[in-house]
C-alpha cells in the first residue's frame, strides 16, 4: 500500500457536509422503533413529549459545551484530543483503548445488524428464522466492508454517501410527519388527551425512559472526531454542533407528535416498529415497505458516519505514539487514515459475527458515556489555560456543562444499580481499566509519528 506518515488530513468538509455527518450519525433506527418501549414506561402524551424534550436538553447541553471546546481545539480525534489536553494522556488513551476494543466495533456491529435485518425484511424474509437469522450476520459484515471501502478511497466519497443518506432518511422521516398531520390528524383528531392519564408518570420509569431516549440521541458528538477535516473550523464547528443538535431535537419531537396524531398511546406501546404502523395506517402495505426501506437507508448512513468518525480517533491515537505506528499512516493517494479504517472494519466484522444486537448496543453505550462526560468536563480545566482561546463560549456556563455531567453520572449509577445491567456494565468498565497496564507498556515501545 502506497502511503505516507507525515502529512495531515486535508480540510474538505464544509458546513453542510459536517452537519450531515452529525445528523446522519445520530438518526439511525431508534426514532423508528424506540417510542414503543418509552411509551410503555410513560403511557401518556405529556410524559412522552416531556421525555423527548428532556433528552434533547441533555444532548444540547453537551453539544453547546463541545461547540466551545471544538472551536478552540479543531483537531482530528475530537473527544480524544479534548480529554488529552484537559486530563492528560492516560485518560485520553483509555478513551482510544475503549474505542479500539469496544466502542467502535460494537457500534458498527449494532448498526449494521439493524441494516441487515431490514434488508432481509424488504426481500420478504423473516430475519428471525433460519437460514436468515445466520445470514443477517454476513449481510451486516458486508455492509461494514462496503462503507469502509467508501471511506478508504477518500473523504469525498464517504461524505457523498453521508450527504445522500442523510437527505434520504431526513426526507423519509419528514414525509411520515407531514402525512401524519395532513391525513391522520383530520381523521383521528389526534390522541393528545388526556394529556396525563392516571399512572402515566412517576420518577423511576421516567429515569429508565430517559436512558432509552439518550441512546436515540447518541451521535451528536461524532462530528468532533473529524474536526481536523472541517473547513474554517473555529467558525463552523460550533455552528455544526449547535445547528445539527437542534435539527435532531426538532425532528424527534415532531416525529413523536406525529405518531400520536395517528395512534393512541396504548397502540404505540405495543408496536415494535411504530413508524411502520403509522405508515400502514396512512398508506397501507406500501407504507410498511416504505418505512423498511427508510430504516435501511437510515442505518446505512449511520454506519457510514460511524466508520468515518471512528477511524479518526484511532488515527489520532497512533499519531500520539499510543497505538501501532502504521495506524497513524495517511494514504498518499486518497489522503485518508487508511490503516485505521481497515482496522476498525475488521474489528467490526469480528464483533458482528460473534454478538447479538442487544449485546453490541449495550457495550457501546456503557463504554462511551463516561468519556462524553470527561470531554464535556474538559471545559472547566481548559478555561484555566492561557493558550485556550475559543471562538464561541457556552452560554449558561457553568450550569450547562454541569447538567450534562450530572445526568451522565445518574445514567451510569442506574446501570450499576439495576440488576439486569450490573454485570455487563461492570464487565465493560473492567475492559476499559485493562487499558491502564497497556498504556504503560505502550509508552516503552512507541514514539509519536513525526509531523511534517
From 50, 378, 343, select the one nearest 224 (Cα to Cα): 378
Write the CB contacts of 385 (distance below 8 Å, at least 6 apart in sequence). none
Distance from C-alpha of 145 to C-alpha of 383, rounded to nearest angstrom:
41
410 lies in some domain: yes
Q: How confident is the model at residue 88 (pLDDT cuts 50, 70, 90)?
A: very high
Average pLDDT over residues 120-149: 86
User: For the domain that residue 192 is a member of, what is the CATH number?
Assistant: 1.20.1740.10
282-327 pLDDT, tens per residue?
888 888 888 888 888 888 988 888 888 888 889 988 888 888 888 8
Distance from C-alpha of 107 to C-alpha of 91, rounded to nearest angstrom:
21
Average pLDDT over residues 323-348: 88
364 lies in some domain: yes
Q: Is the pLDDT of residue 84 over 90?
A: yes
Beta bridge partners of 13: 230
452 lies in some domain: no
389-to-92, 310, 386, 398, 401 alpha-carbon distances in Å: 21, 27, 8, 17, 18
296-to-29, 126, 148, 290 alpha-carbon distances in Å: 8, 15, 17, 10
87 lies in some domain: yes
Structural domain count, the chain: 1
Distance from C-alpha of 59 to C-alpha of 319, rounded to nearest angstrom:
30
Average pLDDT over residues 385-406: 93
- Cα angle 267, 268, 274; round to 5: 120
326 lies in some domain: yes
Average pLDDT over residues 25-39: 82
450 lies in some domain: no
Q: Are 108 and 145 in contact (CB under 8 A)?
A: no
Write the CB contacts of 96 (distance below 8 Å, at least 6 apart in sequence). 80, 313, 314, 316, 317, 322, 323
Residue 420 is predicted with a pLDDT of: 67
Write the CB contacts of 320 (distance below 8 Å, at least 6 apart in sequence). 84, 89, 92, 448
Residue 197 has which C-alpha cell? 392519564
Residues of the domain holding 229: 3-445
451 lies in some domain: no
Q: How confident is the model at residue 131 (pLDDT cuts 50, 70, 90)?
A: confident
From 357, 360, 271, select the one nearest 35 (Cα to Cα): 271
Q: How confident is the model at residue 242 (pLDDT cuts 50, 70, 90)?
A: very high
- Cα angle 56, 61, 62; round to 5: 100
Q: Are 304 and 24 in contact (CB under 8 A)?
A: yes
Whether the bond into 194 is cis, omega within 30 of 0: yes
Distance from C-alpha of 132 to C-alpha of 130, rounded to nearest angstrom:
5
426 lies in some domain: yes
Amino acid at each position: 500500500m502506497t502511503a505516507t506518515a507525515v502529512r495531515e488530513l486535508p480540510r474538505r468538509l464544509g458546513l453542510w457536509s459536517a452537519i450531515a455527518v452529525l445528523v446522519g450519525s445520530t438518526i439511525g433506527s431508534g426514532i423508528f422503533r424506540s417510542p414503543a418501549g418509552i411509551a410503555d414506561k410513560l403511557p401518556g402524551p405529556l410524559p412522552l413529549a416531556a421525555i423527548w424534550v428532556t433528552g434533547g436538553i441533555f444532548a444540547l447541553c453537551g453539544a453547546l459545551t463541545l461547540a466551545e471546546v471544538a472551536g478552540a481545539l479543531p483537531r482530528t480525534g475530537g473527544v480524544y484530543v479534548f480529554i488529552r489536553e484537559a486530563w492528560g494522556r492516560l485518560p485520553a488513551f483509555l478513551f482510544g483503548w475503549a474505542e479500539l476494543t469496544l466502542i467502535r466495533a460494537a457500534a458498527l456491529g449494532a448498526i449494521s445488524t439493524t441494516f441487515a435485518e431490514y434488508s432481509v425484511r424488504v426481500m420478504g424474509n423473516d430475519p428471525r428464522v433460519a437460514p436468515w437469522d445466520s445470514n443477517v450476520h454476513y449481510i451486516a459484515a458486508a455492509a461494514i466492508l462496503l462503507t469502509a471501502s467508501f471511506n478508504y478511497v477518500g473523504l469525498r466519497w464517504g461524505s457523498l454517501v453521508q450527504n445522500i443518506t442523510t437527505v434520504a432518511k431526513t426526507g423519509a422521516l419528514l414525509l411520515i410527519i407531514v402525512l401524519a398531520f395532513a391525513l391522520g390528524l383530520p381523521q383521528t383528531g389526534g390522541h393528545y388527551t388526556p394529556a396525563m392519564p392516571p399512572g402515566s408518570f412517576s420518577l423511576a420509569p421516567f429515569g429508565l425512559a430517559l436512558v432509552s431516549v439518550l441512546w436515540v440521541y447518541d451521535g451528536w458528538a461524532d462530528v468532533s472526531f473529524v474536526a481536523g477535516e472541517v473547513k474554517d473550523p473555529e467558525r463552523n464547528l460550533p455552528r455544526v454542533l449547535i445547528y445539527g443538535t437542534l435539527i435532531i431535537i426538532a425532528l424527534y419531537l415532531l416525529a413523536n407528535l406525529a405518531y400520536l396524531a395517528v395512534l393512541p398511546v396504548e397502540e404505540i406501546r405495543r408496536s415494535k416498529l411504530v413508524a411502520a404502523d403509522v405508515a400502514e395506517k396512512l398508506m397501507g402495505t406500501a407504507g410498511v415497505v416504505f418505512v423498511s426501506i427508510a430504516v435501511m437507508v437510515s442505518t446505512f448512513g449511520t454506519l457510514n458516519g460511524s466508520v468515518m468518525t471512528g477511524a479518526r480517533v484511532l488515527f489520532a491515537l497512533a499519531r500520539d505514539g499510543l497505538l501501532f505506528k502504521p495506524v497513524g499512516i495517511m494514504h498518499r493517494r486518497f489522503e485518508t487514515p487508511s490503516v485505521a479504517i481497515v482496522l476498525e472494519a475488521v474489528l467490526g466484522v469480528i464483533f458482528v459475527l460473534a454478538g447479538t444486537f442487544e449485546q453490541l448496543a449495550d457495550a457501546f453505550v456503557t463504554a462511551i458515556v463516561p468519556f462524553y462526560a470527561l470531554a464535556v468536563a474538559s471545559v472547566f480545566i481548559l478555561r484555566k489555560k492561557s493558550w485556550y482561546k475559543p471562538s464561541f463560549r457556552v452560554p449558561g456556563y457553568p450550569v450547562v456543562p454541569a447538567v450534562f455531567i450530572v445526568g451522565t453520572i445518574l445514567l451510569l449509577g442506574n446501570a450499576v444499580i439495576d440488576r439486569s445491567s450490573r454485570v455487563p456494565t461492570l464487565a465493560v468498565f473492567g475492559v476499559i481499566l485493562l487499558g491502564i497496564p497497556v498504556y504503560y507498556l505502550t509508552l516503552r515501545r512507541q514514539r509519536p509519528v513525526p509531523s511534517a
